[in-house]
């Protein structure tokens, strides 16, 4: 966009002007401690003459490494076989968002930046320069010499993280009995942190364990083949067990053909990736395969034809996942100790 005759009002010049008066962020403009304190106009002079206020600094390898590792799903790596060079990578994308090393007596960091803002940071601070040994178009080197406020360093690190984190990669598969403690822990954590806990009724550990090894199966969403992000318990009700098919008026033989999508939960950090829907779809595919296998082998077991589930009417996310996969509402009942639930079914 044109400056219309005011070339001085370039964002880089504005940042220099603000720094000259000791203003390092927009928030500082409204902070009375900045207005009242006599701050040296030299941008390299960070400490105020007012002893009640000191600007925090980040100058050590330990400080920046610790802050970088505070971001979710990251890890420290030394791929160059040189302990001077530490990389902080995102688990999902395997990409590095921070290169930390020592050079010329200071700790340096290479951080990625939106190309539109690369020059802004260079203009704002003399210790932010075109990246050392990396693309100058989208990377900056930050020299931790005590001239850049801590909050601004953190901001640049966060921007770099956002630039490279990418989308998490999930795999869907079966749980093993050794996964039972993790599944139960997720169940408790999700329930504890729910705003409306009546949406989700939890079971005990034995129930979780039994539906991994028998009486059905459990599906997992696994982040990068390492961390369990969510689960779905599928229950095969026996004659004497509670069977949602009774709400449809199924006869005794048909009740043996019911599979119940009993309990599903996804950790809050991994919501928004349609994991519940993907696990439901995986479960349906596995049941179809099992039906075909039993038929081909001449087994007498009844095929599972009725996929059933319950959902709180106000739980729009779970309701939407079921509806998109073809589940229909059969009725609304009060169950689980007095909670309203839609009873839903899909015939396969």
Angstrom distances, CA of residue 177 to CA of 206, 209, 210, 283 = 11, 7, 9, 18
- The predicted model scores a pTM of 0.58
For 28, half-sphere exposure in the C-beta direction (CA atoms, 13 angstrom radius) is: 17
Structure-block tokens of residue 121: 């940071």
- The domain locations on the chain are 1-50, 56-164, 170-347
Predicted confidence at residue 32, as pLDDT, reads 37
Please list the pLDDT of the chain residue by residue as tens digits (348 residues).
333 333 334 444 444 444 444 444 444 444 433 333 333 333 333 333 333 334 467 899 999 999 999 998 899 999 998 999 999 999 877 899 999 999 999 999 999 999 999 999 999 999 999 999 999 999 999 999 999 999 999 999 999 998 888 777 899 999 999 999 999 999 999 988 888 888 888 889 999 999 997 889 999 999 877 889 999 999 999 765 689 999 999 998 999 999 999 999 999 888 888 999 999 999 999 999 999 987 777 777 789 999 999 999 998 888 999 999 999 999 999 998 899 999 999 999
* Backbone φ and ψ of 27, nearest 5°: -60, -35
Fold classification of 56-164 (topology level): 3.90.1150
Predicted confidence at residue 150, as pLDDT, reads 92
Angstrom distances, CA of residue 95 to CA of 112, 137, 141, 177, 305 = 11, 17, 17, 33, 45
Strand blocks (E) in 145-257: 170-174, 216-223, 227-235
Q: Is 282 helix (H, G, I), strand (E, B) or coil?
A: helix
Do 56-164 and 170-347 have matching folds? Answer: no
Predicted confidence at residue 113, as pLDDT, reads 93
DSSP 207: H
Helix (H) or strand (E) holding 346: strand 339-347
Helix (H) or strand (E) holding 311: strand 306-311
Angstrom distances, CA of residue 37 to CA of 95, 140, 149, 171 = 43, 32, 17, 55
Pairing of β 258-266 and β 306-311? parallel
- Length of the chain (residues): 348
CATH code for residues 170-347 = 3.40.630.30
**Quick one: which of 221, 235, 204, 216 has its CA closest to 265?**
221
Q: What is the chain's Cα-based Rg?
A: 28
């Amino acid at each position: 966009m044109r400056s219309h005759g005011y070339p001085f009002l370039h964002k880089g010049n504005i940042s220099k002007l603000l720094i000259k008066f000791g203003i390092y962020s927009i928030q500082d403009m409204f902070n009375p401690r900045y207005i009242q304190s006599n701050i040296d106009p030299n941008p390299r002079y960070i400490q105020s003459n007012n002893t009640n206020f000191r600007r925090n600094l980040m100058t050590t390898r330990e400080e920046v490494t610790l802050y970088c590792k505070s971001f979710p799903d990251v890890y420290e790596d030394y791929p160059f076989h040189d302990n001077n060079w530490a990389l902080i990578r995102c688990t999902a994308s395997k990409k590095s968002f921070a290169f930390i090393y020592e050079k010329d007596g200071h700790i340096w960091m290479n951080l990625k930046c939106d190309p539109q803002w690369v020059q802004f940071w260079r203009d704002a601070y003399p210790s932010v320069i075109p990246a050392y040994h990396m693309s100058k178009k989208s990377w900056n080197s930050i020299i931790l010499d005590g001239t850049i406020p801590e909050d601004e360093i953190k901001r640049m690190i966060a921007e770099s993280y956002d630039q490279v984190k990418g989308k998490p990669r999930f795999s869907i598969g079966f749980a093993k009995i050794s996964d039972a403690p993790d599944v139960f822990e997720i169940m408790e954590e999700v329930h504890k942190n729910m705003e409306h806990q009546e949406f989700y009724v939890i079971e005990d550990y034995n129930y979780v364990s039994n539906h991994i090894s028998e009486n059905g199966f459990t599906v997992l969403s696994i982040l990068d083949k390492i961390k369990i992000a969510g689960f779905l318990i599928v229950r095969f009700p026996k004659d004497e067990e509670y069977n949602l098919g009774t709400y449809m008026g199924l006869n005794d033989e048909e009740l043996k053909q019911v599979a119940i999508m009993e309990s599903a939960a996804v950790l809050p950090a991994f919501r928004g990736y349609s994991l519940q829907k993907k696990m439901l779809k995986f479960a349906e595919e596995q049941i179809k395969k099992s039906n075909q296998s039993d038929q081909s082998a001449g087994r007498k077991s009844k095929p599972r034809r009725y996929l059933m589930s319950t959902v709180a009417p106000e739980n729009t996310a779970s309701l939407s996942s079921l509806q998109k996969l073809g589940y229909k509402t059969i009725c609304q009942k009060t169950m689980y100790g007095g909670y309203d639930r839609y009873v839903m079914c899909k015939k396969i």
